[in-house]
């Protein structure tokens, strides 16, 4: 409760209920010396840094309006980004959340998927829905989406927009082109923040197309207000076997894990 009061200046009934729920479930809320590592309380858990690089991630996001989180799958890049956005919305620091993803996947084309456009695109956006559903009660999330307080869209839908008072996330950014990356970054309006996540070793673009995530690191590395965080295999926080699986594939491929998803 002290953390919530310090960050938002007020304590809402749902904040109190969340803390009660966690206590009843027997979960450890947070050690007194770890307040700075908390991102969000949910009814199910406390979302906080679990590795040193995740703690760096929290610090970089808090100090910059644009943050790039780059590294392998399973390191919490996207999940934590969504938690940052939900926390900002809950605390009244932004008025909406916009989550975007390029509609690019290895070995698959939208044209070959069944259904109308929305049915075709939803599988690409599913990880973002999953993260949101962990953090916002179902009925509340449904209302947010209906009122466009939360938007989950393909990257192409960002063109021409200016996003004020918003928390904007670009996921799987390695599959954006240089032009798309510039387009996305220039959507940011006053009182907005953005997190861009991706793995620059897992680019699914055509062979001769340069990834916007790779390109942008050379351009924005020294721009004030833009921060970069780089994750490693040791930051993987999924099932304990995930690290071993990544290692096994790297050994099999002679140190090249580009076949990994």
Q: What is the rounded distance in angstroms from the CA atom of residue 63 to the CA atom of residue 16?
A: 28
Same domain, 12 and 71: no
Which one, of 123, 185, 178, lies nearest residue 159 by Cα? Answer: 185
154 and 189 in a single domain? The answer is yes
pLDDT in tens, 37-71: 889 988 777 899 999 999 999 999 999 999 999 99
Give, in order, the Cα–Cα distances in Å from 191 to each of 83, 154, 214: 18, 23, 27
pLDDT above 50 (res 260): no
Which of 103-107, 108-112, 138-142 is predicted least confidently? 108-112
Judge whether residue 125 has pLDDT over 90: no
Q: How far from 223 is each of 76, 103, 194, 226, CA to CA, in Å?
A: 25, 29, 15, 6
Assess whether 23 and 43 both reside in one domain. yes
Residue 258 within a domain: no
**pLDDT at residue number 192:** 97
| Domain-embedded: residue 260 | no
Tell me what pLDDT residue 73 has: 87
Which residue did the predictor score with more confidence, 105 or 213?
213
- Determine, yes or no, domain membership for 219: yes
Distance between CA atoms of 91 and 11, rounded to whole angstroms? 10
User: Whole-angstrom Cα distance, residue 70 to residue 53?
Assistant: 11
Domain of 248? 50-252
Cα-to-chain-centroid distance, residue 108:
23
Q: Please give the pLDDT value at position 176.
A: 94
On the question of pLDDT at 163 being above 80, the answer is: yes
Using the 3D structure, point to which of 29, 48, 67 is the last residue of a domain: 48
Task: With beta carbons less than 8 A apart as the criterion, state whether 200 and 232 touch.
Answer: no
Same domain (yes/no): 74, 166 = yes
User: Is pLDDT above 50 for 4?
Assistant: no
Give the integer Cα–Cα distance in Å for 99 and 125. Answer: 9
Assess whether 144 and 15 both reside in one domain.
no
Rounded Cα gap, residues 203 and 206, in angstroms: 9
pLDDT exceeds cutoff 50 at 144: yes
- In total, how many domains does the chain have? 2
pLDDT of 111 > 60? The answer is no
Q: Taking Cα atoms as reference points, which of 82, 254, 56, 246 lies closest to residue 151?
A: 82
Among all chains, which residue has been given the structure tokens 């082109």? 177
pLDDT of residue 241: 77
Q: Is residue 102 domain-shared with residue 210, that is, in the same domain? A: yes
In a domain, 261, yes or no: no
What is the model's pTM?
Answer: 0.79
CATH code at position 222: 3.40.50.300
């Amino acid at each position: 409760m002290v953390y919530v009061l310090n960050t938002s200046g007020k304590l809402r009934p749902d904040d109190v209920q969340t803390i009660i729920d966690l206590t009843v479930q027997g979960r450890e809320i947070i050690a007194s010396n770890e307040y700075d590592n908390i991102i969000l309380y949910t009814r199910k858990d406390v979302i906080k840094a679990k590795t040193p690089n995740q703690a760096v991630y929290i610090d970089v996001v808090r100090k910059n309006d644009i943050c790039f989180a780059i590294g392998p799958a399973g390191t919490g890049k996207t999940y934590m980004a969504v938690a940052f956005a939900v926390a900002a919305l809950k605390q009244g620091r932004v008025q909406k959340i916009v989550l975007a993803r390029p509609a690019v996947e290895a070995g698959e084309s939208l044209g070959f998927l069944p259904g109308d456009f929305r049915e075709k695109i939803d599988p690409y956006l599913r990880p973002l829905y999953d993260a949101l559903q962990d953090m916002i009660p179902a009925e509340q999330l449904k209302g947010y989406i209906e009122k466009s307080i939360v938007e989950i869209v393909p990257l192409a839908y960002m063109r021409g927009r200016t996003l004020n008072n918003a928390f904007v996330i670009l996921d799987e950014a390695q599959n954006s082109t240089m032009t798309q990356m510039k387009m996305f970054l220039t959507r940011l309006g006053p009182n907005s923040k953005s997190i861009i996540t991706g793995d620059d070793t897992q680019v699914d673009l055509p062979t001769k197309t340069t990834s916007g995530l790779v390109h942008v690191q050379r351009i924005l590395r020294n721009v004030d207000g833009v921060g970069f965080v780089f994750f490693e295999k040791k930051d993987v926080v999924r099932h304990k076997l995930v690290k071993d699986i990544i290692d096994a594939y790297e050994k099999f491929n002679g140190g090249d894990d580009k076949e990994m998803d």
